[in-house]
Amino acid sequence: MTFQKRLELHDRIQEYLLYVFDCAGYPCEPYGIESGRGLKIHKELVGCKNHTAIHVRHQPDKVVVKDGKAIFIDIKTQSRYDTENFSVELASYETCRSLEKIDCEVLYIFNKTKKIPYDLHACHVKNVVFRHINEKPDWTVKGSRTPFGLVYKNDPYIKPITEFFENVTFPNFIAKLPGQQNLNDIITQLGGAPNE
């Protein structure tokens, strides 16, 4: 999958999640480099290697508000589905961990497929365990070519979003869904959504 195709998939997954949170009555908004004027300096930031630029580039994608507190969400779009691991850029991980160190709550959301409902899974960044870290990726292969870690897809702390949202992070999430029994109803509704 080309970089442009991966960006398009990332945008579709974000659109889907915004719909889910909207149905649940939780405000969810873009955050970090993807909001406002951030995109105008993205190319310049890519060439910067200092900690400030890295921190700005790898801020979480979204912030959602629920029950009087805000939670960061970072969508880690996956373009390969034939492996047993998710991949995470180390710079992204370190930025999210720095937020957790000042008591921010940060979630990773991973996709296991490229079609709605994307078989989305979630976990707290603080629980991530890398089974392998590649500090010097092969520059001849596709990808961001930056250091990354591999996370085992079946680790017990990574749960389907339905289970994670309803039982871990968003208590009473089902009750807040207008006219819905659970998130699977929303997933079914979106089965024919545009941009698939």
What distance in Å separates the CA atoms of residue 8 and residue 20, rounded to the nearest whole number?
19
How many percent of the chain have pLDDT more than 90?
33
Q: What pLDDT band is residue 191 in, cutting at 50, 70 and 90?
A: low
Residues 6 or more apart in contact with residue 133 via CB below 8 angstroms: 90, 147, 148, 149, 150
Q: What pLDDT band is residue 192 in, cutting at 50, 70 and 90?
A: very low
Q: Which residue has the tokens 């870690």?
A: 149
- Model pLDDT for residues 152-184, shown as the tens digit of each residue: 999 999 998 878 877 777 666 655 555 544 566
Contact assessment for residue 72 and residue 104, using Cβ atoms and an 8 Å cutoff: yes
Amino acid occupying residue 11: D
pLDDT for 195 beyond 50: no
pLDDT for 194 beyond 70: no
- Model pLDDT for residues 25-40, shown as the tens digit of each residue: 788 888 877 665 556 7
Contact assessment for residue 56 and residue 120, using Cβ atoms and an 8 Å cutoff: no
Q: Which comes out higher in pLDDT, residue 141 or 83?
A: 83
Of 70, 71, 81, 86, the closest CA to residue 150 belongs to 86
**pLDDT at 184 (0 to 100):** 60
Coil, strand or helix at 193 = coil
Contact assessment for residue 48 and residue 150, using Cβ atoms and an 8 Å cutoff: no
**pLDDT at 38 (0 to 100):** 54
The pair of structure tokens assigned to 107 is: 């979630």
Q: Which of 51-60, 122-131, 132-141 has the lowest mean pLDDT?
A: 132-141
Contact assessment for residue 5 and residue 79, using Cβ atoms and an 8 Å cutoff: yes
What distance in Å separates the CA atoms of residue 132 and residue 148, rounded to the nearest whole number?
9
State the Cα torsion 72-133-34-83 to the nearest 10°: -90
Q: What is the total count of domains within the chain? A: 1
CA 135 to chain centre: 22
What distance in Å separates the CA atoms of residue 63 and residue 81, rounded to the nearest whole number?
27
**pLDDT at 163 (0 to 100):** 80
Q: Which residue has the tokens 């630029």?
A: 53
| Host domain of residue 154 | 3-192
Over residues 56-84, mean pLDDT: 88
**pLDDT at 193 (0 to 100):** 43
The enclosing domain of 33 has a CATH number of 3.40.1350.10
